[in-house]
Amino acid sequence: MGLLLTDDEKMLQESAEGFFTDKAPVSQIRALRDGRDATGFSKQLWAEMAEMGFTSVLVPEAHDGVDMGFMAAGLLAEQMGRNLSASPFLSTSVLAATALKQAGAKHAAKLLPQIANGQTLIALAVDEGGKHNPDSIALTASPSGNGFKLNGNKSMVVDGHKADQIIVAARTDEGLTLFIVPADANGLETERTIMVDSRNAARMVFDDVEVTGEQVLGEVDKGADILNVVLNAGRAVLAAEMLGASAKTFELTNDYLKERKQFGRIIGEFQALQHRMAHLYCEIELARTSVLAALSALDNNPKSAGPFVSMAKAKLGSVAKLAALESVQLHGGMGMTDELDIGLYLKRIRVAQELFGDSAYHIEQIGK
């Protein structure tokens, strides 16, 4: 993403490109997968990301952050997408940091510095069914004494199995309320689920989990507005990650077409394949523009950025899928093997497509 960037953002982009290529290449996710790593990401990498200031791009300077905004977060995610770098960046540095900033000072003063220095992992528990639909949240928070009791289930909680705290969206009498819950709370059961892309999510069961009024993020019954901003932040950053993955698969495929010979000719000389690659290149550049627009809109006014974010998530959902499938097909039979990295990109893209709403969901949001 080289358009409309400030000098600081260009420096961050260059720094992130070198960092993730060197410290978290595709070989790392392969090693984590093949070794059935219990964490699912490199703790050493996360510590080094904190040293680089990457974990704190959305944390205000008053809370030990660098506060560079959503554009910066997207630039980092793009490079992670190019390298399939696994980390708790989305769950903690984007979703949780945004929630804490939106919810006010009470929890921010304590937890944002811990996010900035990489000490605390926080997951967001929203979805409950097979498809993303925050309007259908059924987990309840019933009044109990001076607090509430949480009852219900959550699914697709990204990094939930390793989180120290969980931000939970619950149904209260007149709306939604967000709570911050310790991961070891009594009555909370967490099951790690390894997804097709070798990343981690979790299923959670809340059985009379007791929380106090002090654990409310924002105000009771008014969590929907905060949640909307948080989800849009996650969607835009996911779109940026898919952009990086799409661009990288295009480059890998383009290089392959210049080398592979068939019938005595380099296959990249065949006009039909050139047309397919030209079409894909144009689609990726259009997608790049939509991501820039979404990240800029979030930086300018996160509460009104919804249409731009839905546009980006919908566009990248279709373009990234196209990029991955074209890459597999144009690599021929080799594209189906685990020997090449193309399949790993395809799997990550398919998960990112679904997370926080697929293309159909976001096209519907734009229509509304």
pLDDT at 1: 46
In angstroms, the CA 93 to CA 159 distance is 12
Tell me if residue 248 falls in helix, strand or coil.
helix
Match 């193309």 to its residue by tokens: 342
Sequence-ordered list of residues with C-beta below 8 angstroms from that of 145, at least 6 positions apart, any chain: none
pLDDT of residue 2: 44
Token readout for 14 is 């260059």
Domains of the chain as residue ranges with CATH: 7-121 (1.10.540.10), 124-221 (2.40.110.10), 224-367 (1.20.140.10)
Residue type, 139: L
Q: Using an 8 Å Cβ cutoff, are 122 and 202 in contact?
A: no
For the record, the structure tokens of 293 come out as: 């627009």
**Beta-sheet strands, E only, within 80-185:** 122-125, 140-144, 147-154, 165-172, 175-182
Counted residue by residue, the chain has a size of: 368
Q: Specify whether the CB–CB gap between 80 and 17 falls below 8 A.
A: no
How far is 67 from 48, CA to CA, in rounded Å?
18
- Say what the pLDDT of residue 3 is: 55
Rounded Cα distance between 302 and 90, Å, is 17
Structure tokens at 252: 């890998």
DSSP reduced 3-state for 173: coil
Interatomic CA distance for residues 4 and 103, integer angstroms: 30
Query: Nearest 5 degrees, angle CA 48-CA 54-CA 57?
Result: 155
What is this structure's pTM?
Answer: 0.95
Give CA–CA dist 212/217, Å, rounded: 11
pLDDT tens by residue, the chain, 368 residues: 445 789 999 999 999 999 999 999 999 999 999 999 999 999 999 999 999 999 999 999 999 999 999 999 999 999 999 999 999 999 999 999 999 999 977 889 999 999 999 999 999 999 998 899 999 999 999 999 989 999 999 999 999 999 999 999 999 999 999 999 999 999 999 999 988 999 989 999 999 999 999 999 999 999 999 999 999 999 999 999 999 999 999 999 999 888 877 777 877 677 888 999 999 999 999 999 999 999 999 999 999 999 999 999 999 999 999 999 999 998 887 888 888 899 999 999 999 999 999 999 999 999 98
Task: Give 117-164 pLDDT, tens digit per residue.
Answer: 999 999 999 999 889 999 999 999 999 998 999 999 999 999 999 999
Instruction: Give DSSP secondary structure letters for 210-241.
Output: EEEGGGEES-TTBHHHHHHHHHHHHHHHHHHH
